[in-house]
Structure 1
Amino acid sequence: MTTNRPNIIFIMADDHAAKSISCYGAGINHTPNLDRLATEGMKFNHCYVTNSICTPSRAAILTGTHNHVNGVMTLDSKINKHIPNVAKHLRVGGYQTAMVGKWHLGEGKNHEPTGFDYWEVVPGQGEYFDPQFIGPDGIHREYGYATDIITDKSLDWIKSRDQKKPFFLMCHHKAPHRSWECDPKHKTLYKDPIRLPDTFTDDYKNRAKAASVAKMRVAEDLTYMDLGLAQPDGGRSDVGSKMMDTWSSYDRKIPDPEDVTALKLIDKDDGTVFTFSSRVELAEFKFQRYMQRYLRTIQSIDDNVGRMLDYLDTEGLAENTIVIYTSDQGFFLGEHGWFDKRLVYEESFNMPFLIRYPREIAAGSICNDIISNVDFAPTWLDYAACRKPSYMQGVSFRELLKQNTPADWQQVAYHRYWMHRDVIHEAYAHYAVRDKRYKLIYWYNEGFGIEGTRPGGEEKEWELFDLDEDPLELFNCYREEKYAGVVKHMTRLLEEKMEEIGDEPVHPREAHL
């Protein structure tokens, strides 16, 4: 049984939007090595995260369960090392297992990685340069660029493995997480202006209040550190109003028009001084600067995925190794004027997902069926010929990889974000369901005492989007008479999904019976 089972390499980035992988067709950057996975395997267009924030997504992937089940609901949550996970099942089933890179599920003896024969992870968010690593023997520092080092450690482990057994490797990169510090060799890339998203100047009309209050606007909420900038010493009359320069600041104002002409910003690397004639010019400058820094960190990921694929080719491992590339969630790249994630709007909700397995997946295939990150673990167990445990809520999508969609495949994705009004981004708590055309969202706006949240009390609101007619999600059609039947159908779908996974509704159900 062990000789024919595939090796599994799961490569996951942090905050990598699908549109910043060139095979997804946005045309904003070039990622030839990631594109290889699509060319030689399958690209998914509808892979969704169950909770668009780093820590809960990682817990869902590891356990195959939703966050109210695994207990990891917020960014500050920690996973209990005693609960079962996919690595434990694979190891019992005869696999060698390893975890390298960003863990972000807690530190210390009660929260360290378990189920892995080898693990070396970065503490917390990790560092781009000269990062620290934690392993069974304690903490130490490595010198170099994080993406290279994480790949080096992953390859070293593969080279030292027991070649008589199949292996499972989780290779988790820090990039392209904020603060977007690139490898110096990539600092000259992407200097040409990138087209502004159609919704960059979104006014948030015709939407729930949650869209207008979120503090993740490119024009207002990026910091000096985010943009690699400094400001000269001096008073307001000499250097202009201060940009928001700490995450704890609640001041959302950008400089008034008369102040913008006095504003001076300095590139920390080469000393270039930037000045501005209008608030519009400043906002667009921030967008271009943000995108340059973000895309440059991705280039190192692409380089290192290429190293991994080349090694598999050289060692004759490519044919019997499943290689997956994804992100822990999506990310806003200026859409609706935003950066960051959290909200269930499409750019944040949608995860890139590329997979190659020459023995079973047709080269260049595309899947438009819906999958979620809770489905990853059951799929790995399916390929490993290991029993799916009863507690897992995801479903293996192996048949989709064969381009054979089961008649009863559930074309539904569920999302719940628990961190109501976190102190940095002010994102409202909500849950939602999406099928192949519609998305229904309930903004319940309560933190339920969960850590990292602030008291609720805001008006509870519904949103419905017709994604065929309104792919940019600009018009809430929940109250429109012609969508009354859709509202009933989607509400029923939401409630059925919540019942299936054991999540408790908080909306007034009697209104939709």
Structure 2
Amino acid sequence: MKYMILASCSLLIALNGFAQTKKRPNIIMIMSDDHAQNAISTFHKGLTETPNIDRIGKEGLVFKRSYCTNSICAPSRAVIITGKFSHLNGHIDNTVRFDSSQQTFPKLLQQAGYQTALVGKWHLISNPTGFNYWTVVPGQGQYYNPDFIKMDGKRERVEGYATNIITDKALNWLDGRDTSQPFCLLLYNKAPHRNWMPDTADFDKFRGRKYPLPPNFYDNYEGRTAAGLQEMTIANHMHLASDLKVDTSSDPNRPWQQKVSGTERMNAKQKAAWDREYDPITAAFKKDKLSGKALAEWKYQRYMEDYMRCIASVDRNVGRVLDYLEQHGLAENTIVIYTSDQGFYMGEHGWFDKRFMYEESLVMPMVMRYPAGIKKKGEVNEMVQNIDYAPTFLEYAGVKIPADLQGKSMKPLMEGKKIAWRDAIYYHYYEFPGEHKVRRHYGVRTDRYKLMHFYNDIDKWELYDLQKDPSEMKNVYGDPAYAGIAKELHQKLDALRKQYKDDSK
């Protein structure tokens, strides 16, 4: 009997140890809005410093070629939670309402026993579903003293700065969760979305720093019809008041958006700090009377300074989340991802914003760590897309991946396994007519080449040799030297459109 008891105890200990090794991971996905890959120091040195985001990459993986399927805010978010391209999840542009009754990975995790939460920018118009807890900003949200929609439909205004408040709410939820269950937390920042309003705590950062002008800042768009038709240049389409914080209310020649939007929400202390920062900038601008290239380059420097300040706040709050996990013994068994809903232009081609399939807006920064499950550290160079998040989370959680998901689990790549992987990605942008007048287009990107078709009110093809022309300045479509490549890419594009069931035109 004594030996049987001992044997039973040994078995229980062994089973408990097995259960611990099979413990399902927690998941935290931190996503910012419009964070350019080159504005993270893991990916690019010299523009800014992001030590906390870098920390995730140093302790885990850096995805060098992570791409979106449709470079605009709401559609990218819909792709992430459904694992399906825009034409199948129905959210093709920022104007439509997301069908929240459809299958999403948070719903599947919730059904499998996960506690799920969403805090921050949702941007899909319909209320979130599949979450045990959610609180989201209406639409784009506000930087200062933002409103939040609660699960009961009521709104509350919270005093403070959006990035800090979103992180506060996320950490508060973690404090009150049921610790017997694994969790999935989506922490979605508003920043650094336009109009780049920094935290008052960051006004002393980057003041006087000179950012290098991109070599193609004065792009003339030769051979690229659609690129020349856009309305998103820093020189001509970035507003002095709403974007660059220069008060032009007394200037009769600038009747539109003469005042900085968002400052009316500030309390007295916030507004005083704001005025101390921007009143001298306004005074100097009015005194200098800049024009031409001098004005365009001043706009670029002003834009970059505030954009990087917003990112400094994001990075600081990422550090708060990482520190919380360490302090509460959660770091080892928690998958942490930092990404953005798409890329962003920082003066390349003379632009801000996103939308195009050109590299700067196509690429999504992504770093990931999972100490208990990923022993490999370093770079992942396979081409991944935002359709791949959902199947990855589900596989790690031990949940069967539905057959209708269009992405692939990144788990084998994260574990350093050599497997057959995609050799090309597909992209489709729809929002035209619309803001910035970027034409509808779809395309394919391979390791070296990119083929795009702009359609609707125009019919133009573009082909780029990314090895010889990484800045995508020379369209070689129609060049006899690339005729064979063009034919192969057309075939690949047709195959991907069929694979992903995109028969739209």
Q: Does 1:7 align with 2:22?
A: no
Matches within 5 A, 1:6-155: 6-106=25-125, 111-137=126-152, 138-155=154-171
Distance, in Å, in 2 between the alignment partners of 1:246 and 1:113 is 35
Shift of 1:364: 4.3
Which residue pairs with 2:430 in the alignment?
A: 418
Q: Does 1:494 align with 2:493?
A: yes
Distance, in Å, in 2 between the alignment partners of 1:232 and 1:490 is 52
Which residue pairs with 1:200 in the alignment?
A: 217
Kindly provide the amino acid, as one letter, of the partner of residue 375 in structure 1. Answer: D
Distance, in Å, in 2 between the alignment partners of 1:288 and 1:5 is 46
Which residue pairs with 1:475 in the alignment?
A: 474
Matches within 5 A, 1:243-282: 245=257, 268-270=278-280, 271-274=282-285, 275-282=288-295
Q: How many residues align?
A: 464
Kindly provide the amino acid, as one letter, of the partner of residue 197 in structure 1. Answer: P
The match for 1:409 among 418, 421, 425 is 421
Q: Does 1:431 align with 2:421?
A: no
Which secondary structure state, in structure 1, belongs to the residue aligned with residue 338 of structure 2?
A: strand
Matches within 5 A, 1:493-512: 493-504=492-503, 506=505
Distance, in Å, in 2 between the alignment partners of 1:299 and 1:277 is 29
Deviations along 1:435-490, one digit per CA (max 9) or x if unpaired, are: 1111110001x2xxxxxxxxx3x3x0111101011000001111111111111111
Shift of 1:76: 0.9
Matches within 5 A, 1:174-185: 174-185=190-201
**Change over 3 Å in CA distance of 1:346–1:246 after alignment to 2:** farther
Instruction: Calculate the aligned-residue CA RMSD, in Å.
Output: 1.7
Which residue pairs with 2:184 in the alignment?
A: 168
**Change over 3 Å in CA distance of 1:338–1:26 after alignment to 2:** farther
The match for 1:329 among 338, 342, 353 is 342
The match for 1:442 among 453, 470, 484 is 453
Shift of 1:144: 0.5
Distance, in Å, in 1 between the alignment partners of 2:324 and 2:133 is 20
Which secondary structure state, in structure 2, belongs to the residue aligned with residue 22 of structure 1?
A: coil
Q: Is the 8 A contact 1:360 1:401 kept in 2?
A: no
**Change over 3 Å in CA distance of 1:243–1:206 after alignment to 2:** farther
The match for 2:379 among 356, 363, 366 is 366
Deviations along 1:223-246, one digit per CA (max 9) or x if unpaired, are: 1210011126256xxxxx538648
Shift of 1:290: 0.4
Which secondary structure state, in structure 2, belongs to the residue aligned with residue 78 of structure 1?
A: coil
Distance, in Å, in 2 between the alignment partners of 1:147 and 1:316 is 24
Which consecutive residues of structure 1, in runs of 5 or more, have no partner in the other structure? 236-240, 248-265, 447-455, 507-513
**Change over 3 Å in CA distance of 1:415–1:76 after alignment to 2:** same
Which residue pairs with 2:354 in the alignment?
A: 341
Which secondary structure state, in structure 2, belongs to the residue aligned with residue 273 of structure 1?
A: helix
Q: Is the 8 A contact 2:203 2:277 kept in 1?
A: no
Shift of 1:391: 1.9
Identity %: 44
Kindly provide the amino acid, as one letter, of the partner of residue 305 in structure 1. Answer: V
Distance, in Å, in 2 between the alignment partners of 1:171 and 1:505 is 33
Distance, in Å, in 2 between the alignment partners of 1:373 and 1:317 is 26
Distance, in Å, in 1 between the alignment partners of 2:228 and 2:466 is 20
The structure having more radius of gyration, on CA atoms, is 2
**Change over 3 Å in CA distance of 1:134–1:143 after alignment to 2:** same
Distance, in Å, in 2 between the alignment partners of 1:216 and 1:246 is 19
Deviations along 1:173-230, one digit per CA (max 9) or x if unpaired, are: 00000010010011121121100011101111122x1101110000110112100111
Kindly provide the amino acid, as one letter, of the partner of residue 371 in structure 1. Answer: V
Which secondary structure state, in structure 2, belongs to the residue aligned with residue 226 of structure 1?
A: coil
Deviations along 1:421-441, one digit per CA (max 9) or x if unpaired, are: 31x301100001101111110
Distance, in Å, in 2 between the alignment partners of 1:367 and 1:243 is 49
Q: Is the 8 A contact 2:423 2:446 kept in 1?
A: yes
Distance, in Å, in 2 between the alignment partners of 1:305 and 1:497 is 36
Which consecutive residues of structure 2, in runs of 5 or more, have no partner in the other structure? 1-18, 260-275
Kindly provide the amino acid, as one letter, of the partner of residue 229 in structure 1. Answer: V
Which residue pairs with 1:255 in the alignment?
A: none
Distance, in Å, in 2 between the alignment partners of 1:363 and 1:190 is 35
Q: Does 1:289 align with 2:302?
A: yes
Distance, in Å, in 2 between the alignment partners of 1:65 and 1:487 is 27
Distance, in Å, in 1 between the alignment partners of 2:413 and 2:365 is 16
Kindly provide the amino acid, as one letter, of the partner of residue 495 in structure 2. Answer: E
